């Protein structure tokens, strides 16, 4: 490509985005539909089996203040853990359509720059799945609240926001949960570039090994700060904040280096 072609072109980028979106929307719709259906049914089933006892208890003890929805804690923990699984799978599919030699040739021959090619795939693998997952969870939660709240009026059933739950990692959860999900997504994004075949399995094994290495290193590092938890948490937060964009950049560098063997 000449220098003009190497510049970012919005029409070219948009056309390629529409192309990949059109090719993938049917299978993705099926995946999201199954996930939403199963998740909604499980939430309703859990609510309808958990709330009757709580509703009866609160009804017979009107003097109790500060009533609490115990079931939502289980829902939120499961939803956050499922988000890690979903994002690990989706991010690892960055070049799932270019595993074979012929498909890789077709991908590399597309009339877009490497950055445009990577950016389209990154959008479809990271931010869009996070947005869709969040929206589907909120819709499922509203359905559960809309059906259960009138049936169990003594239980404080209220809508909740997925990324602002007070049930994981202390009181300042939003940054922690979102950073950890993005880190997981970024790791599998890079893993999908290095392990195009069976990326989830191979990346998981690699991360399992690295986890223990960093776990041991982290235990040693805590002694540097005299086991000061506050300082150690700041170090970890900064580490996460720097690691995520670095991993995105690394996946782009690896994407540019793709060659047909």
pLDDT digits (tens, 9 = 90+) for 136-153: 999 999 999 999 999 998
Structure tokens at 3: 């220098």
In a domain, 186, yes or no: yes
| pLDDT over 80 at 227, yes or no | no
| pLDDT over 60 at 4, yes or no | no
Q: Return the residue matching tokens 């956050």.
A: 80
In a domain, 261, yes or no: no
In a domain, 173, yes or no: yes
Q: Return the residue matching tokens 């589907």.
A: 136
Q: How many domains does the chain have?
A: 1
Structure tokens at 107: 């991908």
In a domain, 208, yes or no: yes
**Residue 157 lies in domain:** 3-256
In a domain, 200, yes or no: yes
Average pLDDT score, the chain: 83
How buried is 78 (Cβ within 10 angstroms: 0-12 exposed, 13-18 middle, 19+ buried)?
middle
In a domain, 167, yes or no: yes
Separation between Cα atoms, residue 23 and residue 194, nearest integer Å: 24
| pLDDT over 80 at 231, yes or no | no
Q: Strand, helix or coil at 76?
A: helix
pLDDT digits (tens, 9 = 90+) for 44-87: 999 999 899 888 888 887 766 666 778 888 888 889 899 999 99
């Amino acid at each position: 490509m000449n220098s003009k072609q190497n510049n970012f072109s919005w029409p070219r980028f948009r056309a390629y985005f529409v192309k990949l979106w059109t090719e993938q929307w049917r299978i993705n719709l099926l995946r999201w539909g199954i996930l939403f259906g199963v998740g909604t049914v499980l939430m309703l089933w859990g609510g309808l089996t958990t709330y009757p006892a709580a509703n009866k208890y609160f009804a017979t003890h009107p003097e109790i203040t500060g009533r609490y929805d115990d079931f939502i804690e289980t829902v939120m923990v499961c939803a956050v853990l499922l988000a890690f699984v979903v994002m690990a799978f989706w991010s690892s599919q960055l070049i799932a359509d270019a595993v074979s030699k012929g498909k890789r040739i077709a991908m590399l021959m597309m009339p877009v720059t490497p950055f445009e090619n990577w950016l389209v795939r990154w959008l479809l693998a990271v931010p869009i799945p996070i947005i869709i997952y969040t929206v589907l969870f909120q819709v499922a939660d509203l359905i559960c609240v809309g059906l259960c709240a009138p049936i169990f009026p003594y239980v404080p059933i209220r809508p909740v926001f997925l990324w602002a739950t007070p049930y994981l990692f202390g009181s300042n959860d939003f940054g922690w949960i979102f950073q950890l999900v993005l880190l997981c997504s970024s790791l599998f994004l890079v893993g999908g570039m290095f392990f195009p075949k069976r990326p989830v399995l191979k990346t998981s094994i690699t991360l399992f090994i690295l986890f223990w290495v960093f776990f041991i290193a982290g235990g040693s590092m805590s002694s540097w700060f005299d086991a000061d938890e506050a300082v150690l948490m700041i170090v970890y937060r900064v580490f996460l904040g720097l690691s995520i964009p670095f991993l995105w950049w690394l996946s782009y560098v690896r994407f540019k280096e793709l060659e047909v063997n």
